[in-house]
Structure 1
Amino acid sequence: MAELPELGRHCGLAACRQLDFLPLVCAHCQVTFCRHHVAADVHSCDKAPQPAEADLTASTRVYGCHVAGCTAAELTPVTCPGCQRPCCLTHRHEAEHDCPPCAAMDTPVEQLAAGQLDSGETVVLEYGDPAQPRRDDVTRYDVT
């Protein structure tokens, strides 16, 4: 390495001091490190901001599940498109919480198997309020 003594830099961590040809600079303390020690928590950077503690006091709203015996709660409301009742992520599908409106609805596959659909017919399923259909609430099936 005597030919090119000015290439690369040594890692700023005293225990490492590895010669690195692609050194990285810490964004907080501006010291050069190798790729293994550039993270602020790895080299114990005293100028890095400390992570804020999560404030989960009574002001945080949680949304419970309507299924009997379920104690799960979500930070975002999850509702069933058929019965409009609040659910947790585990019970959000119609089959998971015995949704009466969704249980009565036959799927196009079941209708085709029963001979209720003609070949070439397009089936449109709408969820939610039919008076205000949204693009993401519509599922189209082309029967072939």
Structure 2
Amino acid sequence: MEFPNLGEHCSEKTCKQLDFLPLKCDACEEVFCKDHIAYNRHKCSSVYKKDVQVPICPLCHAPIPVRKGETPDAVVSAHMDRDCKPDSAQQKQKIFTNKCFNPGCKKREMMKLVCDQCHQNFCLKHRHPLDHACPGQSHAISKAGYAALMRSLKSQTMTLNYQLLQNRSQAKC
């Protein structure tokens, strides 16, 4: 059994394909197949109704209205020449503003890393009290710092023990 009223032909002049699931363009209201439904594929004459872009001024960050037929670049350029008022408060601020207080270090961090003891700001490398020779009340050691201190003490005692054993063996001879 045939269905003579089922489906529609694509409105694109070069296609005219019979489509059983036709799609209607929301700008020009014509019917198209899946291959020609995009605005640029069927050269839609009413695309300006749907494809609206509002450029933003790079200096004052204000939206610039563009009328039909005007090029956005020309409108933004005219705005920058006549109406643009760059606001210094809205200008791009530097991200890395927190300078390290360790002498000789010129690094800057995005976030503040304040020492609990001396209350000064440091970079990631000098954030621990032992790393920046903190003049605070006491030298609190982090777990990593404590482990490093223990390793160094252990290696020092092992070298001392080794030297003592060598001295004793030489003394016996």
TM surpasses 0.5: no
Structure with the largest fraction of strand: 1
Higher relative contact order, chain-length normalized (CA < 8 Å, sep 6+): 1
Larger radius of gyration: 2
TM-score normalised per structure 1: 0.45
TM-score (norm 2): 0.38
